[in-house]
Chains A and B, each alone.
Chain A
Amino acid sequence: MQRRVVVTGMGIVSAIGNNVEETLKSLLGSESGVSKISILQTAISATHPAAEVKKTNEELRAAGHLPEGNFYSRTTLLGMIAAKQALSSAKIANVKSLRTGFISATSVGGMDRTEIFYDEFLKDNSRGHLRDVITHDCGESTEAIAAELGISDFVDTISTACSSSANAIMMGAKMIRQGHLDRVIAGGTDALSRFTLNGFNSLMILDRLPCQPFDENRRGLNMGEGAGYLVLEAHDNPGLDEKEIFGELTGYANTNDAYHQTASSPDAKGAVMAMTQAMQMAGISPAEIDYINAHGTGTPNNDLTEETAISKIFGERIPPFSSTKAFTGHTLAAAGGIEAVLSLLSIKHGIVFPNLRYEVKMKEFDFSPVTELKKQKLDHVLSNSFGFGGNNSSLLFSRWN
């Protein structure tokens, strides 16, 4: 029998909090992190709000007690803070005591620094600080965080656009289930950058107001930044009895919509397959799903496709669902990690988080997301992450017993 994969640690940083406690407080108080951009230097800060972590890189370094001297991109700094929290929440004092991996996701790695390099480089190819460009590749942030955590057994970076960190968690789970590793710190990190901000703006899918996922009049998404990591462990690891187990990863699936490079299909094929296969793997029927933490970006295309998928799978009995991106913005490759943490908080505290700013039901369907904080016992929570390149992932977290 394959080993079961449980979650023993979580770490998170986003616009709604610098750790799990602050994040939970914001969620309970319906405090959104979307506001005017003030840290990132961008020409469109006045017109396009985002869910920014309101700390400069120096402040992040100080707040996270991160080593001085090394030069880190913002993506690395955010990731380090969340990954270190995850490790300490799992009460792991020595990462070498078991075979431990670090699998991290990022969409554009150190692009926040590359942009600064490029401003000068474009004027004159002999200009621009090289230190700003050597942190460009996606593996850089992963290696820097792995080094800070002391992990070297297995290190990997996944980049599948906005489903990246759900896939990092999936990869970690597979390594544990098949016995290659005993535990994995898995999740993702992405800093706001002019590159991604303008990329989504060029596609005309950014909301100039705070976003309204699943609303009939939704206008687009707000960008966000942050990082979220889980500590995944084999259920038979020594010492697990003394640890808090936040949940079990009972199912997961990755599929491809194979419809369009950036748009999702009208029949929601990839999304339906991802959710269905995750439930099949766990041996859980749709009727047993207590909550869906939806991808719910707030774009007309995504939200229509996702409601189509939910409607096809769940039919008459639509489980409570909401998008927490109205709180955190769309944190791209970090979204799957951040929302995995939120899904586990849902199970732990028995809360369905509200879908902020929802007003009008979509005309295509006769159901709505949860709009008020809802307290109930939750046993099984689905977390969806969909990305460019047709990439669809669903993770299924269950109460551990």
Chain B
Amino acid sequence: MAMYIRSVSCISPQQSFGAAVLPEEEISFTGNKMNAVEPDYKTHLNIPSARRMSRLIKMGVCTALDCLKESGVSVPDAIIAGTGLGCMEDSEKFLASLITNNEQTLSPTSFIFSTHNTVAGQIALLLKCNNYNFTHTHRGLSFENTLMDAQLFLNDNPQAQVLAGASDEVTETSFKILQRLGAVKKENSADDIRSSVSPGTIAGEGSAFFLLNNSADEHALAKISGITTFSNPETESEIFSNINKFISEHHLSSDDLILYGINGDVRSDAIYNEVRKKCFDKSYAGYFKHLCGEYHTATAFATWLSALILKNQQVPGYMLINDIDEIREVNRILIFNHYKGREFALLLLEKC
């Protein structure tokens, strides 16, 4: 497979929106929640309908439109969006309202905006784009399946410009439930994801969109050259055989940078260390979730990060696991991620 990233836009807990290079210093987090640094929507999403949009829809639509603007494409041939949980804020609002009002005389606004395809639908509406419009919502693979769909579309339509991305939000309610499930750390936790040895992760959120096409020209930021996903592996050896197959198919080497989806939860991070030891012993190693937190579509953030690294050939020290001061040249980045040990993904990007 091969597709090229022509432009990107990302809202995350870092200063990512509008950034052409990665910030020199990261915003670091402890505790159990990272909220996105949102741009001033009055400037960047100056449309009347924005006042009715939840944070998720605003983050999604804003990054999608910004990405498109950067690319110079006016109307894409396809809009493909991923989301793990969809429009939680609107869903919670409507649910609370129907229970509180005993199912009588409800306002439809939050229901209207609660469907999972609201972000993709709103982008189409704003662009008057009548083309292909899909939404994938498959837990930890929502973004990977979105990219897979983009690749299928580009294979069928080689000249196409595809706008693809993923968005998820933390709401007050969803966060309370994460706390009760024991999925996140204690509020007063002093653990950084990079060095944590306690259970639970730090919840995160964000949106990243990409303009993808088949043009390997000087505008391309990076090339996406491989995606593999698998679900519910029954044994550890099944995980390794999938990874090793990917390694040999793509001839991965020690010069490549591997970004691990380590999320600070001691219960599920062990496999990353195993894989690093057994498969990528000599490769450069980095983290990304200490920057964006854990959520279903965190790999969209990692893809944004990777595209900028490959384009600018700059790897900030705060991302690296190894005791390396700098990497002179990065030709390829592999993002290896799993969500709760159930959904596994390998995503390979290359320098153009």
Contact = CB atoms under 8 A, between A and B. Distances in A.
Interface string A116-146: 0011001001100010011011111011001
Interface stretch (A154-162, A322-330, A369-377): A154-162
Contacts of A159: 86, 115-117, 135-137
Interface string B106-118: 1110011111111
A64 interface: no
A259 to B, nearest CB: 7
A199 B111 contact: yes
Contacts of B131: 255-256
A242 B229 CA distance: 32
Interface string B83-122: 0111000010011101110111011100111111110111
Interface stretch (B176-184, B208-216, B255-263, B279-287): B176-184
Given A159-B86, A199-B114, A194 B103 contact: yes
Q: Which of A122, A133, A152, A389 has the most CB of B within 10 A?
A: A389
Given A139-B138, A160-B135, A258-B127, A199 B233 contact: no
Given A133-B177, A256-B121, A261-B118, A42 B86 contact: no
Contacts of B327: none
Contacts of A254: 132-134
B95 to A, nearest CB: 5
B99 A202 contact: no
Given A152-B233, A261-B113, A158 B135 contact: yes
Interface residues of B, number: 62
Contact of A137 (B84, B103, B108): B84
Interface string A242-267: 00000000000011111111100000
Interface in A141-184: 142-143, 146-147, 152-161, 167, 171, 174-175, 178, 180
Nearest to B181: A130
A299 interface: no
A146 to B, nearest CB: 7
A391 B181 contact: no
- Most chain B CB inside 10 Å of its own CB: which residue of A130, A143, A156: A156
Contacts of A136: 85
Contacts of B135: 158-160
Contact of B136 (A114, A156, A161, A199): A156
A44 interface: yes
Interface residues of A, number: 64
Interface in B291-307: 296
A215 B180 CA distance: 50
Given A107-B115, A261-B121, A390-B124, A152 B230 contact: yes
B95 A270 contact: no
A145 to B, nearest CB: 12
A44 B172 CA distance: 29
A146 B133 contact: no
Interface on chain B toward A: helix, strand, loop, or mixed SS? mixed
Contacts of A171: 134, 149, 152
Nearest to A160: B117
A269 B125 CA distance: 13
Given A198-B98, A256-B133, A139 B139 contact: yes
A155 B137 contact: no
B117 A388 contact: yes
B128 interface: yes
Contacts of A194: 98, 103
Contact of A155 (B141, B152, B155, B177): B141
B239 to A, nearest CB: 12
A26 interface: no
Highest count of chain A CB atoms <10 Å: which of B94, B100, B107, B136: B136
A261 B99 CA distance: 25
Contacts of B180: 126, 130
Nearest to A200: B111
B247 interface: no
B156 A174 contact: yes
Which has the most chain B C-beta neighbours within 10 Å: A139, A146, A175? A139
Contacts of A143: 139, 231-232, 342
Given A156-B145, A198-B103, A118 B95 contact: yes
Nearest to B88: A136
A155 B94 CA distance: 30
21 contacts: A107-B116, A130-B177, A139-B139, A152-B232, A152-B233, A158-B134, A160-B135, A171-B134, A171-B152, A194-B98, A195-B91, A195-B94, A198-B111, A201-B103, A202-B111, A256-B132, A273-B130, A389-B118, A390-B124, A390-B125, A391-B117
Interface of B: 79, 84-86, 91, 94-96, 98-100, 102-104, 106-108, 111-118, 120-122, 124-125, 127-139, 141-142, 145, 148-149, 152, 155-156, 176-177, 180-181, 229-233, 296, 342
Q: Closest 4 A-B residue pairs measured CB to CB?
A: A389-B121, A139-B139, A159-B116, A199-B111
Given A130-B180, A138-B86, A147-B232, 13 more contacts: A107-B115, A139-B139, A152-B232, A155-B231, A160-B135, A194-B103, A202-B107, A254-B132, A258-B127, A261-B113, A387-B115, A388-B118, A391-B133
